Structure 1
Amino acid sequence: MFTQIMAAAAPAAGNNPYGLMEALEQGGVIAWTVFIILVGMSVGTFFILFTKLIEQQKVINQGKKVRGTFWRATSLKEGSAKLEKNSAYKQLVDDGILAQEHHNKLTDPVEAHDWMHASLARSEAAINSRLGGGLAFLATVGATSPFIGLFGTVVGIYRALIKIGASGQASIDAVAGPVGEALIMTALGLVVAVPAVLAFNFLQRRNKSIAEDLSGFNNDLLGYMVSNGAVRPVVAAAPVAAAKPVAAKA
């Protein structure tokens, strides 16, 4: 008899009536809506994180190649041809060449330095703006997802209070479901918010480092252009392979 009772109770004990899916089913449309919004925010956060990391790494690698190849060229056009197509640094060089050509066509005299500086600054700002794309979404997710989860929490507590009022007593079985749903929504909001804030700060720091490199290259490029190539950064000479010793003939 005891064995039969334990066997009958085992399946019931294995079923958790307070899990995530059970809480969503109890919460109804509001709980499912909050859950779907938070999941969408989380997916968008990780998508932006990985795509921005790839984009930033490409620009960082381009900056390393610029230091080794561009400044060894004899002219801007030759240096531009050595740069990777559609790279941020190539865009700066091409915009600088275009600004130089347009300056020669101006009928109203404008200082070459001011004209070049404005053109390069505009190009640099466009690149930085493109690198910052998507970060506003991360900031929004980090700021709003806890409140979206809190909305689900408030609804869950409200449902618990309704059950208490309807039953006339605050029994555990009456309020455990709605309170569990409320706590799950709070946890989901925090789970979505924390990665978004960390990703935003991490990507923002990398963008700042890239912007500093672009600004330095921009200044070097401006000095090169307004001095007709006389001013350029010092580039370390390429390493020369050591000559192999010649074996002495007998």
Structure 2
Amino acid sequence: MDGFAHFWSGSDAIGRTVALLLLAMSISAWVVILWKAWVLQRAGRDIERAVGAFWSAESLDAGRERLVQLDREQIVQPLVAAAVAQPGSGTLETSAHLESQLTRRLRDALHRSLHHLQFGQVLLASIGSTAPFVGLFGTVWGIYHALLSIAGSGSITVEKVAGPVGEALVMTAAGLAVAIPAVLAYNVFGKWVGRSEAELEGFAHDLREMMLERAGQR
């Protein structure tokens, strides 16, 4: 902490901007990490409960009512709504076979649900990949700034070089501290989203088969 304080007091506008940028990236990453951990865990539990409750219902309407109660993130409901939707007549959508219509509507609904689950992943990936380089830039600029100050003093000793360089290296450590949690969270959340995606794809397939069976078309 003392090293960063010395770096801040001895840095210029560019060095301080890099430090503030890393701080903003860290805050953004942790906000997304905490929010997505809560959303994905809740969505995963809800998908498992909602799908089971839907298939155990006595009718389609009863199943939809159960989804309203259990699907708090509204991940499963769009799939059922797409399956039972009645598109307007006289459109290109209705000119296709019922099987194709169902496939297209369920695919679009699945993509919307997955988009909700994947929201924030790009930010975590971007922070995880760029934060180390931002920190490295801060270190390089800090060393350059320190060397200019030492050269201006007219004398160069190990003590005068080691202190400012060591303080500048704090920025590299800060960049890694920002990037590592973002990368780890991105990988963990990707696994959770993939598991939910597999369950949703299976549900969409079974729902499509049921609707075709009800329509008498296989």
TM-score normalised by length of structure 1: 0.78
Which residue in 2 is equivalent to 1:55?
A: 39
Q: How far apart are 1:163 and its partner, in Å?
A: 3.1
Q: Are 1:37 and 2:21 an aligned pair?
A: yes
Residue type of the partner of 1:54?
W
Q: Partners in 2 of 1:63 and 1:106 — Cα distance?
A: 35
Which residue in 2 is equivalent to 1:166?
A: 152
2:25–2:178 contact (8 Å) kept in structure 1: yes
Q: Are 1:186 and 2:208 an aligned pair?
A: no
Percent identity of equivalent pairs = 34
1:142–1:196 contact (8 Å) kept in structure 2: yes
Task: Count matched residues.
Answer: 212
Q: Partners in 1 of 2:20 and 2:95 — Cα distance?
A: 60
Residue type of the partner of 1:216?
G
Q: Partners in 1 of 2:196 and 2:215 — Cα distance?
A: 25
2:3–2:170 contact (8 Å) kept in structure 1: no
Which residue in 2 is equivalent to 1:126?
A: 112
SS at match of 1:102: coil
Q: How far apart are 1:53 and its partner, in Å?
A: 1.4
Q: Partners in 1 of 2:148 and 2:49 — Cα distance?
A: 66
Q: Cα RMSD between the aligned structures?
A: 2.2
Q: Partners in 2 of 1:106 and 1:82 — Cα distance?
A: 34
Q: How far apart are 1:165 and its partner, in Å?
A: 2.5
Structure index of larger Rg: 1
Which consecutive residues of structure 1, in runs of 5 or more, have no partner in the other structure? Answer: 1-15, 231-250
Residue type of the partner of 1:47?
V
Change (3 A) 1:81 1:229: farther
TM-score normalised by length of structure 2: 0.88
Residue type of the partner of 1:90?
Q
Which residue in 2 is equivalent to 1:198?
A: 184
1:150–1:185 contact (8 Å) kept in structure 2: yes
SS at match of 1:170: coil
Change (3 A) 1:54 1:48: same
1:53–1:203 contact (8 Å) kept in structure 2: yes
Q: How far apart are 1:182 and its partner, in Å?
A: 1.5
Which residue in 2 is equivalent to 1:88?
A: 75
Q: Which 10-residue stretch deviates more, 63-72 or 178-187?
A: 63-72
Q: How far apart are 1:59 and its partner, in Å?
A: 1.7
Residue type of the partner of 2:81?
D
Matches within 5 A, 1:58-77: 58-77=42-61
Structure with the higher fraction of residues in helix conformation: 2
Q: How far apart are 1:106 and its partner, in Å?
A: 4.9
Q: How far apart are 1:207 and its partner, in Å?
A: 0.6
| Alignment deviations for residues 175-234 of structure 1 (CA, whole Å, 9 cap, x no partner) | 23421232111110111111111111111111111100000000010001000189xxxx
Q: Partners in 1 of 2:95 and 2:157 — Cα distance?
A: 86
